[in-house]
Chains A and B, each alone.
Chain A
């Protein structure tokens, strides 16, 4: 079955840029989305269609995709950005969604 691979953890100091990668064989043809999830809460959509930001999401969150890799960039990470981050996409037939395993971001 199709898989998306993320690093388990990323750590940055406040004000630094955090980059979280997501790799998948179908990403050259399929859009990636990114979600932030804080403990005990529902996920929040941060990025859709590789690089589009929903209204209300701070500009420091951006997305990009090249080849088999999608990347979430948090420019000037803040302590409040500590959370789990997930990428998602669809399989080649668009029948099934897939989530990456998640990346725990630590900002300290």
Chain B
């Protein structure tokens, strides 16, 4: 059974940093392209960014609002995807989902609240 489990969410002050994790199981994580998608309270889905598999170069792409502040990485030895967030502001408050490139599988989401 495929599972994606996010962790690491919480309350952080403006300007602060936070790292989210997404533990994957049930599929060959090392060849999967993975994405982060977020959803602000009461708002729609917003793509955050993507990391390719290492065999495809392992490169990353980001949406304009997070580029330069967020970093996506992966640890294939532990089947884990990461989202390092820095320079957080109140507009980053959202539930963050990890998903596979097919978008067939999604995690349950991790809530990040940026507030003083």
Which A residues lie at the B interface, using CB under 8 A? 1, 33, 35, 37, 42-45, 48, 54, 84, 86, 88, 95-102
Inside 8 A of A95's CB, which chain B residues have their CB? 61
B50 touches A100 (CB 8 A): no
Inside 8 A of B64's CB, which chain A residues have their CB? 1
For the complex, give the distance between the alpha carbons of A102 and B97 in Å: 17
Residue B116 is within 8 A (CB to CB) of chain A in the complex: no
A97 touches B47 (CB 8 A): yes
> In the complex, what residue of chain B is closest to A84 when comparing beta carbons?
B44
For the complex, give the distance between the alpha carbons of A33 and B45 in Å: 13
A96 touches B106 (CB 8 A): no
Q: How far is the CB of A43 from chain B (nearest CB, A)?
A: 6
> In the complex, what residue of chain B is closest to A90 when comparing beta carbons?
B47
Residue B46 is within 8 A (CB to CB) of chain A in the complex: yes
Inside 8 A of B104's CB, which chain A residues have their CB? 45, 54
Which of B68-116 touch A at CB < 8 Å? 97, 102-104, 106-109
Identify which of B50, B61, B97 gathers the most chain A CB atoms within 10 Å of its CB: B61
Inside 8 A of B25's CB, which chain A residues have their CB? none
| Interface SS, A side | strand
Besides A35-B45, A43-B106, A88-B45, 14 other CB < 8 A contacts?
A: A33-B103, A35-B103, A37-B45, A42-B106, A42-B107, A44-B106, A45-B103, A48-B102, A54-B104, A84-B44, A86-B45, A97-B37, A97-B50, A99-B45
For the complex, give the distance between the alpha carbons of A43 and B50 in Å: 17
> In the complex, what residue of chain A is closest to B65 when comparing beta carbons?
A1
A98 touches B44 (CB 8 A): no
For the complex, give the distance between the alpha carbons of A86 and B44 in Å: 8
B63 touches A96 (CB 8 A): yes
Inside 8 A of B46's CB, which chain A residues have their CB? 99
Q: How far is the CB of A44 from chain B (nearest CB, A)?
A: 8
Choose from B44, B103, B108, B109 the contact partner of A102 (Cβ within 8 Å). Answer: B44
